[in-house]
Amino acid sequence: MAENKIMNRWIIVAGAILIQLSLGAIYAWSVFTGLLTNQAGPYKFTATQTQLIFSAGLAFFAVVMVIAGRMQAKVGPRPIALAGGVVLGLGYILGGLFGTNFIMQLLCIGVIGGTGIGLAYVVPIAVCVKWFPDKKGMITGFAVAGFGFGATLWVKLGDSWFGGLLNNLDGMLGLPGVQAVFLVYGITFLVLVLLGSLVMVNPPASYVPAGWIPPVAAAGGSTGQVDFTERQMLKTPQFYMLWLTFMASAMAGLMVIGIIKLFGIDALQASGTAATANEAGIIAGTAMALFAILNGLGRIIWGTISDKLGRKSSIVLMCFLQGIMLLAFYKMGGSKMGFIVGACIIGFNFGGNFALFASATADFFGNKNVGLNYGYVFLSYGVAGIVGPQIAGYFKDRAPVGTADVTVWLAPMVIAGIACLAVAVLMLALKSPKAPQG
């Protein structure tokens, strides 16, 4: 009966944002990499190891999201969101208590934490699209905006607000700062996701927003009125074009998220803008927080733009701008303002991915099965989460230990930039799929 109750649909959006605030913790990973790679500290991880943890989280996030999409279609969205909150919180709590080495952090934060995110992430998107068929782009942006804003919250709480939890909690329960923060974050994530999940219910099957007249789908039109099953979708070239484009665009943003602090420390010291690694790290921390804010805003603004401009045109424009920005970021990163502005633009475009590709999936393949279908599209994000950070980690580990060699970052930036430009061209050829047969 709860699933059939008509409620104020904006309450659903509030619950979605609450959930996504917690899930966005994965984008705060860079705030921990400096301490994890400090060879005088308790962890002594390599750059590649920190990126492996990040990549594992992203990969499990994407793969589990397919399973979650299928499960929530069968048992309803609320139980899946609840499960996601429990698993995510447990992963960080265990990482805090037992994550003294790379393998444990890989398992707790990467595997368990990523699984929790994958379970919960698809629920707000699928539910919001059904409640807001009249504003798919904008509302998808709102539904996932908390993911980006959450990263800002967890970054700033970790490294600077109120003196920084990494400093203030160091030694709590005998735990180093990183693990102590993981413990506190895990408990917080558990509570927030459980609260948000309480309003994750679908509207009745016959629900139509007041005053809205559903558009009539033209032959092969992309209105979300023609529903594809997963098998039907997987037979279309449009699915693979969207998949490849999402992979390349997400790869660029995820690479920057994973290495922004390390790149900033090298670039700002090499140019003389910062005299010490600590000074460069403070500037990079500001850029990380602004990246996360613009990531959240990009989801809302790109989604709203796409409702007016169209999903295809918006994706082409976003990927083109991101490609240009990545090619310029290597040079811009040497100055304080250039580094911060570059991070903001990359974050803004990166955030657009999560509104545009979710909405495009609903447009091309229908609203009914969007929770499951978008899971398959989102697998590209899992691949991007492995490829992007690992490219950056590989080149960084080729540099002499203890040096601020900014040249190691040129190749990753060029690779990511060219990939974005290539898929922008690919998207120009995208056409709406023909209605499924049978």
Alpha-carbon torsion, ordered 41, 46, 47, 50, to 10 deg: -80
Show Cβ contacts of residue 176 under 8 Å, excluding neighbours closer than 6 positions. 35, 41, 42, 43, 170
Cβ atoms < 10 Å from Cβ of 201: 20
Contact assessment for residue 77 and residue 126, using Cβ atoms and an 8 Å cutoff = yes
Mean pLDDT of the chain: 86
Question: Could you read off the pLDDT of 32-41 as tens digits, one per residue?
Answer: 888 888 888 8
Query: For residue 226, is pLDDT > 80?
Result: no
For the segment(s) 2-204+219-427, the CATH number from 2.60.40.1220, 1.20.1250.20, 1.20.140.10, 3.30.70.2740 is 1.20.1250.20
Rounded to two decimals, the pTM is: 0.74
301 membership: H or E segment, kind and range: helix 277-309
pLDDT of residue 2: 44
Query: For residue 221, is pLDDT > 70?
Result: no
Stretch 1-12: mean pLDDT? 68
- Indicate the pLDDT class of residue 404, thresholds 50, 70 and 90: low
Q: How far from 330 is each of 4, 29, 343, CA to CA, in Å?
A: 53, 21, 11
> Look-up: residue for tokens 């709102």?
142
- Indicate the pLDDT class of residue 220, thresholds 50, 70 and 90: very low
Question: Could you read off the pLDDT of 186-197 as tens digits, one per residue?
Answer: 999 999 999 999
Query: For residue 235, is pLDDT > 50?
Result: yes
Cβ atoms < 10 Å from Cβ of 204: 11
pLDDT of residue 1: 39
Contact assessment for residue 224 and residue 366, using Cβ atoms and an 8 Å cutoff = yes
Per-residue DSSP letter, 223: S
- Indicate the pLDDT class of residue 322, thresholds 50, 70 and 90: very high
Domain ranges of the chain: 2-204+219-427
- Indicate the pLDDT class of residue 107, thresholds 50, 70 and 90: very high
